[in-house]
């Protein structure tokens, strides 16, 4: 029968290794072999057999048989502190945690709380009068309908059916029972075990266990005064954890100071790259510390629960920090590429997107971390939503400016460096931010315009025009004879059309007599100058205006006097 067992599990490897060895190794191997031969079906069907929990009887028997296997695995681990045996111990603890309703425990503490509950249950059951297996609902031969819950005789420990959720229909030790196991154990810990056990207290064995990196001889030489438990963890473990934490904190602080000196100079990408190494190093040190503390020091009880909450909070804060800096580092790396100008409109759009993504990603990570600490994510999201709504009402103008900036980025009416006309002013766009835009006016002053106002204005992008309009009205004296006026119009049309920079299309350039008023005849001159350079356009316009004046003077036509001179005196 032994040779039919699967050899993929660590315990057959341990047996084959030590069955023929002298001393305690041979004893441990034979004990492990007996466990494999006589353990209950819940753990003997194979390495992947599920834990049965479809009735109070199956749940109780799965716990009892699982505890027996745990004790023998602890014996094998004491004889050979290997990572293989440690992994097997963890695997069976994980299976037994499936017998407990841990829904009321924060996810960050479910492993430690569940493992402690298993050891408490093992020690409590061993000190109670034996329970007749046939009397438990769901036992073979007991055809009575399964109750909603079953109470362990002589205790308040209950096994109840789960009516909803992923464990619907399963019988688990209730959350209330799990929460009170320490109190129950404290009341009977002075009693001797009634049932035959490998260890007088599996809880004490679990609390004193250490990882493969800590030799058993070292723990045996620790003074008894340091083995006294505080918060259910031996004092020497608490001291060791504090030393490790201080050492890791000093390493992290040293690297942070080194990075602070590095970021005082260099490009934005270089500075962000150095800053990004800080949370990344902290995360590496965190995982290394957690691995050493959990795998080798093995804290337990209230101290482990507090340590679990603190370490989980640190993990998600560091992850949020890394996500925040990493987002800006990625965007600035894209902006530094030759395809994107550093001060272009696209660069500012990428930076604005980075801010939004950074806020959303860090908020999501922190919200998920809060859920792991026992703060419901749904309630937190609802609170954030209500708070965000109130904040939006209180900062309505800020939100309006933010969306105004987004609309400017989406419509792209101008780019950084464009000369635009807005309202009654003109200037060069220097920056578009989340709240406002900065425009350098023609007189050199810097104008800051809220994005919400700018999005509502009529914006003229002077930089993007393909040609400039030459448009002027010349007022001639009303005494000008019609034939002389006709000659002047023909001469002006010829003069303007002769310029190489003037566009010649159907109807253009256009020079017409457009009106006769009191004391004047209005002649309109309109033409397109083929340049988008405003400075060049001003030079061409000046040349054309001088030629027009020379033409009028050559034909001895007088200009009309100012309008004020034509008004009759009072």
Give the pLDDT band of residue 515 (cuts 50, 70, 90). Answer: confident
- Residue scoring higher pLDDT (308 or 348): 308
Number of other CB atoms surrounding residue 436 within 10 Å: 19
Domain positions in the chain are 2-209, 233-394, 402-461, 468-566
Q: What is the pLDDT of residue 125?
A: 92
Determine phi and psi for 215, rounding to 5 degrees: -65, 150
pLDDT reading at 13 higher than 80 = no
What is the distance between the alpha carbons of residues 253 and 169, in angstroms, rounded to a whole number? 51
Q: How many residues does the chain have?
A: 570
CB distance 198 to 191 below 8 Å: no
Mean pLDDT score, 39-47: 47
Residue 514, SS3?
A: strand
Give the pLDDT band of residue 113 (cuts 50, 70, 90). Answer: very high
Question: Which range (26-35, 292-301, 332-341) has the least confidence?
Answer: 26-35
Q: What is the pLDDT of residue 24?
A: 43
- Please report how many Cα atoms fall inside a 13 Å half-sphere around the Cα of residue 1, on the Cβ side: 8
Mean pLDDT score, 397-414: 66
Q: Mean pLDDT: which of 252-266, 385-399, 443-457 is highest?
A: 252-266
Q: Give ∠ CA 70-187-220 in degrees, rounded to 5.
A: 50
Q: What is the pLDDT of residue 341?
A: 59
Residue 418, SS3?
A: coil
CB distance 124 to 155 below 8 Å: yes
Q: What is the pLDDT of residue 5?
A: 32
Give the pLDDT band of residue 48 (cuts 50, 70, 90). Answer: low
Q: Mean pLDDT: which of 6-15, 270-279, 413-422 is highest?
A: 270-279
* Residue 377 to residues 52, 148, 319, 357, 547, Cα–Cα distance (Å): 32, 30, 17, 20, 78
Structure tokens at 481: 């004879």
Q: What is the pLDDT of residue 172?
A: 95
CATH topology of domain 402-461: SH3 type barrels. (2.30.30)
pLDDT reading at 240 higher than 70 = yes
pLDDT reading at 99 higher than 90 = yes
Q: What is the pLDDT of residue 194?
A: 85
Mean pLDDT score, 326-336: 88
pLDDT reading at 34 higher than 90 = no
Structure tokens at 520: 């004047």
Mean pLDDT score, 196-220: 86
Determine phi and psi for 427, rounding to 5 degrees: 180, 175
CB distance 200 to 266 below 8 Å: no
User: Can you give the pTM of this predicted structure?
Assistant: 0.64
pLDDT tens figures, 528-558 = 988 878 788 888 889 888 988 888 888 888 8
- Please report how many Cα atoms fall inside a 13 Å half-sphere around the Cα of residue 502, on the Cβ side: 23
pLDDT reading at 126 higher than 70 = yes
Question: Which range (250-254, 414-418, 510-514, 515-519) has the least confidence?
Answer: 414-418
pLDDT reading at 35 higher than 80 = no
What is the distance between the alpha carbons of residues 211 and 218, in angstroms, rounded to a whole number? 12
pLDDT reading at 355 higher than 50 = yes
pLDDT reading at 30 higher than 50 = no
pLDDT tens figures, 313-330 = 999 999 999 999 999 999
Mean pLDDT score, 177-198: 88
What CA dihedral angle connects 159, 163, 164 and 170, to 10 degrees? 50
CA 487 to chain centroid, in Å, comes to 78
What is the distance between the alpha carbons of residues 403 and 407, in angstroms, rounded to a whole number? 6
What is the distance between the alpha carbons of residues 376 and 107, in angstroms, rounded to a whole number? 11
CATH code at 468-566: 3.30.70.100
Question: Which range (308-322, 379-393, 510-524) has the least confidence?
Answer: 379-393
Average pLDDT, the chain: 81
pLDDT reading at 218 higher than 60 = yes
Give the pLDDT band of residue 401 (cuts 50, 70, 90). Answer: low
Mean pLDDT score, 28-38: 43
Which residue has tokens 């990408």?
269
Question: What are residue 428's DSSP bridge partners?
Answer: 419, 440
Give the pLDDT band of residue 409 (cuts 50, 70, 90). Answer: low
pLDDT tens figures, 58-75 = 999 999 999 999 999 988
Q: What is the pLDDT of residue 29?
A: 45
Work out the burial of residue 166: count CB atoms within 10 Å of its CB; fewer than 13 is exposed, 13-18 middle, 19 or more buried. Answer: exposed
* Residue 97 to residues 53, 118, 148, 156, 531, Cα–Cα distance (Å): 12, 7, 21, 20, 79
Which residue has tokens 């007749």?
132
Q: What is the DSSP string of 170-204?
A: -EEE-HHHHHHHHHHHHHHTTSPPSS--SSS-HHH
Mean pLDDT score, 45-57: 77
Mean pLDDT score, 34-46: 43
Question: Which range (231-235, 237-241, 260-264, 449-453) has the least confidence?
Answer: 449-453
Determine phi and psi for 233, rounding to 5 degrees: -135, 130
- Residue scoring higher pLDDT (349 or 386): 349
CA 59 to chain centroid, in Å, comes to 40
């Amino acid at each position: 029968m032994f040779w039919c067992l699967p050899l993929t599990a660590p315990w057959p490897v341990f047996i084959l290794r030590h069955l023929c060895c002298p001393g305690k190794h041979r004893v441990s191997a034979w004990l492990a072999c007996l466990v494999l031969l006589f353990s209950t079906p819940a753990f003997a069907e194979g390495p992947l057999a599920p834990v049965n929990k479809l009735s109070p009887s199956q749940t109780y028997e799965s716990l009892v048989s699982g505890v027996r296997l745990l004790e023998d695995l602890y014996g094998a681990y004491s004889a050979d502190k290997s990572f293989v045996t440690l992994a097997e111990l963890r695997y069976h603890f994980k299976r037994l945690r499936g017998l407990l309703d841990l829904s009321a425990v924060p996810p960050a503490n479910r492993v430690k709380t569940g493992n402690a509950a298993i050891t408490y249950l093992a020690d409590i059951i061993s000190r109670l009068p034996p329970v007749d297996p046939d009397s438990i609902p769901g036992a073979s031969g007991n055809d009575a309908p399964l109750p909603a819950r079953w109470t362990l005789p002589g205790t308040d420990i209950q096994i109840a059916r789960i009516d909803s959720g992923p464990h619907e229909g399963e019988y688990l030790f209730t959350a209330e029972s799990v929460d009170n196991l320490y109190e129950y154990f404290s009341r009977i810990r002075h009693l001797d075990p009634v049932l035959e056990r490998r260890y007088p207290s599996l809880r004490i064995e679990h609390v004193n266990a250490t990882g493969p990196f800590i030799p058993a001889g070292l723990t045996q030489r620790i003074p008894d005064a340091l083995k006294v438990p505080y918060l259910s963890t031996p004092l020497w473990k608490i001291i060791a954890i504090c030393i490790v934490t201080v050492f890791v904190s000093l390493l992290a602080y040293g690297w942070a100071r080194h990075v602070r000196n590095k970021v005082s100079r260099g490009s934005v990408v270089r500075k962000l790259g150095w800053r990004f190494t800080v949370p990344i190093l902290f995360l590496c040190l965190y995982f290394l510390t957690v691995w050493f503390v959990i795998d080798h020091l093995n804290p337990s009880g209230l101290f482990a629960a507090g340590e679990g909450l603190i370490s989980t909070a640190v993990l998600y804060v560091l992850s949020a920090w890394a996500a925040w800096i990493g987002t800006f580092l990625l965007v600035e790396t894209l902006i530094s590429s030759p395809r994107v100008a550093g001060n272009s409109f696209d660069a500012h759009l990428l930076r604005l997107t980075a801010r939004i993504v950074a806020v959303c990603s860090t908020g999501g990570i922190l919200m998920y971390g809060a859920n792991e600490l026992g703060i419901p994510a749904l309630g937190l999201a609802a609170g954030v939503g209500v708070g965000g709504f109130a904040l939006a009402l209180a900062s309505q103008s800020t939100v309006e400016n933010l969306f105004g900036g987004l609309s400017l980025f989406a419509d792209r009416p101008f780019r950084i460096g464009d000369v635009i006309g807005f309202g009654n002013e003109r200037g060069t766009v220097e920056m578009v931010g989340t709240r406002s835009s900065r425009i350098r006016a023609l007189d050199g002053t810097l104008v800051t315009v809220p994005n919400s106002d700018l999005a509502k204005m009529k914006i003229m992008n002077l930089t993007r025009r393909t040609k400039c309009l030459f448009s002027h009205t010349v007022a001639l004296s009303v005494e000008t004879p019609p034939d002389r006026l006709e000659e002047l119009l023909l001469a002006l049309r010829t003069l303007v059309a002769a310029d190489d920079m003037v566009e010649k299309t159907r109807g253009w350039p256009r020079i017409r007599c457009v009106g006769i008023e009191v004391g004047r005849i209005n002649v309109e001159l309109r033409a397109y100058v083929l340049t988008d350079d405003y400075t060049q356009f001003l030079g061409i316009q000046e040349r054309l205006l001088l030629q027009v004046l020379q033409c009028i003077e050559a034909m001895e036509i007088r200009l009309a006097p100012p309008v004020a001179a034509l008004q009759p005196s009072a």
